Structure formats: C-alpha cells, structure tokens
Chains A and B, each alone.
Chain A
Amino acid sequence: QQPVQSPQAVILREGEDAVINCSSSKALYSVHWYRQKHGEAPVFLMILLKGGEQKGHEKISASFNEKKQQSSLYLTASQLSYSGTYFCGTESPSNTGKLIFGQGTTLQVKP
C-alpha cells in the first residue's frame, strides 16, 4: 500500500538536475509532494490531481501519470536550499483525503 520512492538518496552539485520517482501498486486519485529539512516539519510543495498533469513550483515541477500510477518530481538547476528529504503522499480514490507516504528520498546539494 505504501508508495515506493526511488532513488533512496541523491547527491548533487549546485546547478545539476534530479528526478525523484513515486510509484504505487494501487489506483491513485492524487499525489502530493513534501520536503522536510532536518529537524523540521514537512512542507507542502504541490498536489497533482489529474492524469498527465504537470505543475511547477519555482524550478521544481512534477508530473502524474494516472494510468501508470506514477509521479515524478523534477528539480532543475538545484540550489543548496533544495537539500532535504522529499516525500510523496498518495491518495486512493476511496480513501477520501488520507495520504499514505513513501519512505522518502534524501537529496543533498553540495556547493
């Protein structure tokens, strides 16, 4: 039931790009993305509601393929502030409003 994120960890240099994937074995209604910095609460980045939908937040964007039950988070021209752990949260069509989170992807951006 828990979505699977890949990779588990990524190390980048400033300015490099990264992709984080989130895959579910069950049908999805929506996918959320959150970022959590060490010792802090997770912060909402974006929500994707429709198949094939893409959204952007600064240089962070995401796609959602409803048929494949997958979502990807794209970080372009990464900045030091992008460091943290990224979680996808998935909502099934029947579980109104409840998110099940993946295990997280730790992203470290180095100067």
Chain B
Amino acid sequence: GAGVSQSPSNKVTEKGKDVELRCDPISGHTALYWYRQRLGQGLEFLIYFQGNSAPDKSGLPSDRFSAERTGESVSTLTIQRTQQEDSAVYLCASSARARNYGYTFGSGTRLTVV
C-alpha cells in the first residue's frame, strides 16, 4: 500500500478485556516496529520484526503483551486483560531495511481502557 495502515483507529475497551491491534506495513518493507505513546509523552519501544529473524521483544512491558507478524506483511499486537495504564496511542512503523532507512509511521490506534 501507499502507507502504513493501522486498525482500528480508535478502540474503547473495558478493563480486563483482550484487544487486538492490526498493522499493514508498506509493501516490501522488511522491518516493522510497534511503539506506544502515552498522552503528551515520547515514543516507547515495544517490539521489532525484521524479516524472518526472531523478533526483538525487549520493550514489551509485561507478559500481557504479545505480537505476531506473518512473513513480511501484517502484524497484530495483542494486549490481554487490559488495564487502565494500557491506555495510549499504539503506533506501528515500517522501514525498507533494518538499518539506514527512515521509518514510516501509521496513524496509530488510540486505545482507551475504561
């Protein structure tokens, strides 16, 4: 596609429910990243996929968070048993290669846990 697509754009969920966030990267981009941005804050790294290599999960804040990517295409970020502190904008980005290329970000999913 022309850009990075994320869905849904907004999600309101009840505390304790599970949510799935989806990211469609730019076609041909081998690297895909998930970041979290709380209101008025910076970008917090969550997880990174590069081709068929094992993902870098070092930023996932707890075992309630997990992510998958099918080949070099769609990725889903799953948050189980959501908590109020999970409320944030979840941004996905892709880049043509792991290094030396800028990221293209999607518009994000705004998650609100009530």
Contact = CB atoms under 8 A, between A and B. Distances in A.
Interface of A: 2, 29-30, 32, 34, 40-44, 46-47, 49, 87, 89, 91, 95-104
B65 interface: no
B100 A43 contact: no
B91 A41 contact: yes
A32 B45 CA distance: 15
Contacts, number: 61
B67 to A, nearest CB: 14
Contacts of A104: 41-42
Given A32-B103, A41-B91, A43-B105, A96 B42 contact: no
Contacts of B108: 41
B73 interface: no
Nearest to A95: B56
A44 B42 CA distance: 15
